[in-house]
Amino acid sequence: MLEILGIIALFSALKKKLARKGRGKGLAFLAPVFWIGGEVIGAVLGATLLAMQSEGQPVSTAAVYVGAILGALAGAAASLAVIYLVPPILHACPECGEEFTLNLEKTSRRHTCRRCKTTLRVEDNAVVIVPDMKKRAVSGPFGA
């Protein structure tokens, strides 16, 4: 039970880091895969090493358990390292070329360019300039 909570916590931590890089949650599934994979490898390694040392005597289950826990921790650390190394998705401002990453944690797909202050909206494969209503009103037929 505790382990499931740990995997869920790791999964949501990875999902958050991915969202800040403008990426979907797909790679967050490394959390359960690496955790459980590391656990199995750790248990097998622990049992194997112990069996080699104990020369025919029964292997202690506690040592296998310690191997499994260490393996799970290594797997969790590896999944964090992979997500850390994944590059962020960069978009470019169509006005000035300034690059930015859209934080998917926010529900809005809007972004204000840091350099030229243009309001942008990130669509599936394009960055679109959001028309400035105030500017349009001033330059319209009734503007000064």
Q: Which residues of the chain form contacts with Zn ion (CB under 5 A)?
A: 93, 95-96, 98, 113, 115-116, 118
Residue among 70 and 89 whose Cβ is closer to Zn ion? 89
Longest dimension (CA), the chain: 95
39: how many CB neighbours lie within 10 A of its CB?
21
Minimum distance of Zn ion from residue 127's CB (angstroms): 10
Cα–Cα distance for residue pair 20/106, rounded to 1 Å: 9
Residue among 8 and 116 whose Cβ is closer to Zn ion? 116
Residue among 77 and 96 whose Cβ is closer to Zn ion? 96
Minimum distance of Zn ion from residue 128's CB (angstroms): 13
CB 93 within 8 A of CB 120: yes
Minimum distance of Zn ion from residue 114's CB (angstroms): 7
Residue among 35 and 100 whose Cβ is closer to Zn ion? 100
Cα–Cα distance for residue pair 2/8, rounded to 1 Å: 10
Minimum distance of Zn ion from residue 134's CB (angstroms): 18
CA triplet 10, 15, 16: central angle to 5 degrees?
Answer: 100
